[in-house]
Amino acid sequence: MLEERRLTIREAYSEASSFLRRHGVRDPEANAERLLEHVLGESRSGMLLRWGEKFPVEQLGNWKALLERKAAGEPVQYIIGEQEFYGHAFEVTPAVLIPRPETELLVEEVLRLGRLLWSAEAVDSGTGLLRHADGAEEREAVRHRPTVCDIGTGSGAIALTLAAACAEWRVLASDLSPEALAVARSNALRLGVGERVTFAEGDLLRPWIERRERIDILVSNPPYIPEADEPGLQPEVRLYEPRTALYGGEDGLVLYRRMTAQLAGLVALPRLVGFEVGFGQAQAVRGLLEQAGDWDDLYVVPDLAGIERHVIAYRK
């Protein structure tokens, strides 16, 4: 592939792009660029400044090895160990799903509505109440500081982004996979929110029910791909991302059924629930939530492709 003669960085990039294209990699230029940034330890602009320099010889072996992995179909995020989500660089390993851009919209909607619901309460009650007798003081403090819980946190994308955006929110995050939790914990340190996030290993809401946690805001992007759809998935997804993060049983809805059934076991029904759903699932999930609680409003938010992607339920 790359000849031993000294290539410039620009030449290394263009040879890599054509190498990846020959191997049927989609978006060969973007992939070559991300791998090159990684190998050089440069940002995009830093790399462009060095465009005319010679490619560092000591990195040549590493560079070839990474290109081979990409050519074989591995997601670039696992190769470089990182994916950006909501402006933060998240560590990703094959133990976690690669965070997707549409999930940023769920974070955004939960932030918008959560801030509205909890700040309205602060205005209602007035801050003077916080100086009342002990019990009242605590109750008010709790009411002003919602606890948000992310089920199936994976890399921690949703939970940690919320923690970083809202210093006053308490954040819980759980996952069935200890390997995923290790990645989420390391991301919590990366984002500097380690102290404000509580992690637990366990099956959906079970760990929080056992601890009698009061959850005000419940969010989840659970595995939702119907098992029957497996053969049609892109090989990058099907062969590399963790099965337990992808499939939601026969019709894809199994985790939503189980989570909405578990709601009754919590000390109180959350006031705000936000779920990400798969193609064609929004109305079914909306129905499950409708049955599980008394809401003031339930609505569906489309993603940028116009697909019904998030189901939101809340009480004022």
Cite the annotated binding site for S-adenosyl-L-methionine by residue number.
Answer: 152-156, 175, 221
Shortest reach from residue 152's CB to ligand GLN, in Å = 5
Please answer whether residues 151 and 220 qualify as being in contact, where contact means their C-beta atoms are separated by less than 8 angstroms: yes
Angle, alpha carbons 142-147-148 (nearest 5°):
160
The residue (of 29 and 229) whose beta carbon lies closer to ligand GLN is 229
The residue (of 105 and 130) whose beta carbon lies closer to ligand GLN is 105
Question: Annotated binding residues for substrate, as ranges?
Answer: 221-224
> SS3 breakdown of the chain: % helix, strand, coil, rounded to 5?
50, 15, 35
Measured in whole angstroms, the distance separating CA 44 from the mean position of its chain's CA atoms is 24
The residue (of 28 and 154) whose beta carbon lies closer to ligand GLN is 154
Shortest reach from residue 247's CB to ligand GLN, in Å = 10
The residue (of 66 and 184) whose beta carbon lies closer to ligand GLN is 184
The residue (of 66 and 285) whose beta carbon lies closer to ligand GLN is 285
Shortest reach from residue 296's CB to ligand GLN, in Å = 26
Residue of this chain nearest to ligand GLN (CB atom): 154
How far apart CA 259 and CA 261 sit, in angstroms, is 5
Shortest reach from residue 56's CB to ligand GLN, in Å = 34
- Cα–Cα separations (whole angstroms), residue 199 to 15, 173, 194, 213, 244: 44, 5, 10, 12, 19
Measured in whole angstroms, the distance separating CA 140 from the mean position of its chain's CA atoms is 31
Shortest reach from residue 36's CB to ligand GLN, in Å = 26
How far apart CA 312 and CA 285 sit, in angstroms, is 10
The residue (of 66 and 97) whose beta carbon lies closer to ligand GLN is 97
Shortest reach from residue 243's CB to ligand GLN, in Å = 10
The three-state DSSP-derived secondary structure of 214-235 is CCCEEEECCCCECHHHHHHCCH
Question: Annotated binding residues, as ranges?
Answer: 152-156, 175, 221-224
289 in helix, strand or coil?
Answer: helix
Kindly list the residues in this chain that would bind ligand GLN in the complex (CB under 6 A). 97, 99, 103, 152-155, 157-158, 221-223, 245
Shortest reach from residue 122's CB to ligand GLN, in Å = 29
How far apart CA 198 and CA 168 sit, in angstroms, is 14
CB within 8 A of 59, min separation 6: which ones?
Answer: 39, 40
The residue (of 147 and 187) whose beta carbon lies closer to ligand GLN is 187
- Cα–Cα separations (whole angstroms), residue 155 to 10, 90, 249, 292: 33, 7, 22, 28
